[in-house]
Amino acid sequence: MKAAVHALTGLLSLTGLAVAQAADIPLYPTGPSEDSAFLRFVNASESPLQLTAAGSGASLRLEGEQRVSDFLTVPADKSVQGSLSLGEQQHALDVSVAPGEFASVVAIAQADQPLQVLTVREQPDDFNALKASLAFYSLDAQCVDAGLQVAGRSVDIFKAVATGSLERRSINPLNLSVQLRCAGAAVGEPLALGDLAAGQRYTLFLVPSAQGPRLFQALDNLAN
């Protein structure tokens, strides 16, 4: 994954979109620069996803356990162009990120349905180095009023998050398992997140699959 991210960094530079070097550290110990913008790519399908830059042909491949790239630091308000490929399906990429914004380009594909690409945008909140920061991206329309509870307990972490939106909150660092809920009912098995660390940021993606709504977890790290 690190080599692929380095390739993508070079790829963006070759297309005239110089990428600033970032430390390989959790987001973000002191807060981002107001002039920085951050972009990552997410494969929410079961097949390999390949990003190819316009012009250079360099690429980044996301598959298996490595389905989410680190955040790349990109110039704010400038177009990042290329294409996303999933099997025989392709989707043109043309996205810009506002100053201080964290954008996630999410590729979603289901059987007999065209590749869908969503861009989810998040503005940074107050950072608390003593807490873990957890976000929930609700991206499956079949899960109405999506929410998360602490597994085995009636304790809401997120409740009634609309499709296409996200929420983030700070929580105490602890070992956590979560239960997805759709329209007030538990869906699927609990997901173990492991030990959430103070000062680290995490995202939970809710996406469609052939087996129904599902969750997967990602660390919100900056690429070096």
Q: What is the per-residue pLDDT for 32?
A: 52
| Nearest by Cα to 105 from 80, 75, 134 | 80
Q: What is the per-residue pLDDT for 28?
A: 34
- The tokens for 147 are 């929410």
Q: What is the per-residue pLDDT for 65?
A: 86
Instruction: Give the global pTM.
Output: 0.83
The rounded average pLDDT for each run of 10 residues, N- to C-terminus, in the chain (224 residues) is 48 38 34 73 93 81 92 90 92 94 93 87 85 96 97 96 95 97 96 96 94 94 85
Q: What is the per-residue pLDDT for 223?
A: 86
* CB burial of residue 38 (10 Å; 0-12, 13-18, 19+): buried
Q: What is the per-residue pLDDT for 33?
A: 53
Q: What is the per-residue pLDDT for 75?
A: 87
